[in-house]
Amino acid sequence: MTDVAAVIRSRRTHKAFGPDPVPDAVLRELFELAAWAPNHHLTNPWRFRVLGPRSLAALKAAADAQVPGSGAKLDRAPTLVVVSTLVGEDPVAAEEDLCATAVAAYLVLLGGHDRGLAGYWRTPAVLRDDAGRAAVGLGPDERAIGLLHLGHGRQEQRVPERAPVDEIASWLP
């Protein structure tokens, strides 16, 4: 097993975090790593926004306006990162960029795990709402793909069952 395989197999979703935020220097390392995600024509469509106290409060208010009490989920981790992709006029390029941005987001999670951090990728409805988008500064040319919760995990996570390869892959003639 390679080091990459060990990191992939040992990463888990965490929903309980310690209070310390991820240092900016570490976040910069993770975003630099994410920039190595493959993307057609090197468009670099991904955008990362680290939420500060004001933007977090605005996002929580927008979430609570949508579903009362749902903003509390945003307090789980000490560091929240909104991941979005730029969306252009070409639907094929937009689909390619969306997929590339998803890979970039996962590279942030894997890189964080490799550095001892825990993570959680959410796709909350508030990021598809006008008030939520405004709270985190998403422009009309962006599509939110997720909210990454990052920090130091407070508990071990169980290893989930995975489908056997023969269930998920086939070799075509």
Domain 3-155: state its class: alpha beta
Mean pLDDT, all residues of the chain = 92
Reported as a single tens digit per residue, the pLDDT across 14-26 is 888 899 999 999 9
Q: Where are the beta strands (DSSP E) in 32-104?
A: 46-50, 79-86
Task: Tell me the domain boundaries of the chain.
Answer: 3-155
Is 126 within 8 Å of 63 (Cβ atoms)?
yes
Model pLDDT for residues 83-97, shown as the tens digit of each residue: 999 999 999 999 999
51 burial via Cβ count (<10 Å: 0-12, 13-18, 19+): buried
Tens-place pLDDT, residues 109-145: 999 999 999 999 999 999 999 999 999 999 999 999 9
pLDDT in tens, 152-161: 988 777 777 8
Q: What is the pTM of this model?
A: 0.92
C-beta atoms surrounding 20 within 10 Å: 10
